[in-house]
Structure 1
């Protein structure tokens, strides 16, 4: 029998990995800051030094908002992946199955390519928040559509939700292809940059908003750990244990839509974090959602920070798109997961 980490060990290990990834990300970049300088910078910022050094300016205005956005994004994606895997009772599930990412991408594409024609008043009203607002709304609406298509008299059918998600994701992909053909060169570059994902657009207002939404979503997600443990036995057995299965499904879907929608609308599409982080946690700590949910958030945050650090440094001064890097890492991990799943079956 494989040894499993205890809940305390798993959470401490996730916290240590996150701290290491945060320190590495804070020190690395085009303007390098050594670990000793980093401690001095943090101390000076904490003491509110009157004459900030160049290292302080770089850390406060460039590195710190990007790192905090990465933490929020990774935590939201990792936790949402654990929710979806628990809800579908399938370790190969991820938040994209319920259409959040594809809906956000389609809405972002429509805004970039056709926004000036369809709703010219929005940029004057929302300013730089136009794309973020439309992407979040698109992701949330598509999720509601998939949820409604999966409803029947007996409740929400997860198999129907999976099929509806596949169909809607394919339709969104076709829509993005059509928009790519219609776009000008400048619009196409903007669309491709958004689709590939990046933390480069981090600003304090967006960081605060996404962090608050993800924190609230994670807090609600933790209340679903016991019901998800019961659902792992089967929906009928969970109902016999007193779990309101339909209520758990609704809450899990809404929480996932809020977390992933806010992250995707701000950073673009960052793939595979919601798939591999919960799976790795289950491999080392077991299936208990009291461990899987928080540890997946910690590991997801560490993975996003580590990937972003590589993206900023491997081709410096150019920056590799974050979504490309997570795909290069995530696809081999996904194939290994498929092999492991096949062997178990």
Structure 2
């Protein structure tokens, strides 16, 4: 099978299913293939049923949904800003979403029923505010400055981090621990209710992104050229910004700040599938799901029975790739 064949949607879907099955089998308490099938057929013992159905299955499926969201929002960000370095975690979106979610946690709004939803709402507004601010800073009469975009993203991320630290100084120890662990990124609290939120968000974002694929393709030519082709540039950017903020709001609310998936996955797909967004977006969703399922498997197994925060695993995997990518585009990042 060719490299491009390995990257087809059907091949990626098959690899994702295999990764999900491997993640169900492996863990601090490994299960055999027969034991997993027995549980799925309703013939497993009570211990295996609880381990697989209540703990491992919702976590693995949620990892797939969150990974798809991260990669899809990353591809949309890169398409809107016309740069492969424009990942939500690098341009301040993740930082703003983290601040919004942490504010909800610190104020105790997330307590009780609807906690995940309230955190998602706070993270959405934080991410939306950060996206809008960074874009307005980077926007010039000649277009969007890439160097300014990244520098503004670094500044907004630092500011959001400082404000979250101030929040942490004002809360009690239990809330402080909850915020700190949440910021590192984890799927340990996955449940079927949170899985429902993640899969619904992914389905809605996928549907909403379909009419925007041609707009993103037009953006590759430039905003002025997209306008000449008949697209409403300002309206399209507003819709894209809202969708990106909504997607990141859900991911930050349910899994904390997970970096580099939205940067690395679209770039990997673009290497073999090209920049055309009708091919790029669905492949990014599938590959993002695959990457995060494997990353979460590593977080559960590398130091078992202890768990490494998922955000640390993705950073360890993504930083080297980002440095290579940054090196490749260093000429564009030189500040004149």
C-alpha distance in 1 between matches for 2:329 and 2:11: 25
Which ranges of structure 1 fall in alignment gaps of 5 or more residues? 117-121
CA-to-partner distance for each residue in 1:298-321, whole Å, 9 max, x for gaps?
111111110111111111111111
Distance 1:316 1:91, change over 3 A: same
Residue number among 223, 226, 233 corresponding to 1:245 in the alignment:
233
Which residue matches 2:209? 221
- CA-atom RMSD, angstroms? 3.0
Which residue matches 2:123? 139
- The answer on 1:14 being equivalent to 2:12 is yes
Which residue matches 1:73? 66
Equivalences for residues 161-240 of structure 1 within 5 A = 165-240=153-228
Equivalences for residues 244-283 of structure 1 within 5 A = 244-283=232-271
Which residue matches 2:51? 58
Which residue matches 1:309? 297
CA deviation after TM superposition for structure 1 residue 40, in Å: 3.5
Which residue matches 1:5? 4
- Number of residue pairs aligned between Structure 1 and Structure 2: 328
Verify the 8 A CA contact 2:70 2:288 in the aligned structure 1. yes
Which ranges of structure 2 fall in alignment gaps of 5 or more residues? none
C-alpha distance in 1 between matches for 2:117 and 2:154: 24
CA deviation after TM superposition for structure 1 residue 53, in Å: 4.8
SS in 2 for 1:96: coil
CA deviation after TM superposition for structure 1 residue 79, in Å: 0.5
Verify the 8 A CA contact 1:105 1:135 in the aligned structure 2. no
Residue number among 70, 79, 87 corresponding to 1:86 in the alignment:
79
Which residue matches 2:33? 35
Structure 1 length-normalised TM? 0.84
Verify the 8 A CA contact 1:156 1:246 in the aligned structure 2. no
C-alpha distance in 2 between matches for 1:181 and 1:90: 37
C-alpha distance in 2 between matches for 1:281 and 1:335: 18
CA deviation after TM superposition for structure 1 residue 239, in Å: 1.7
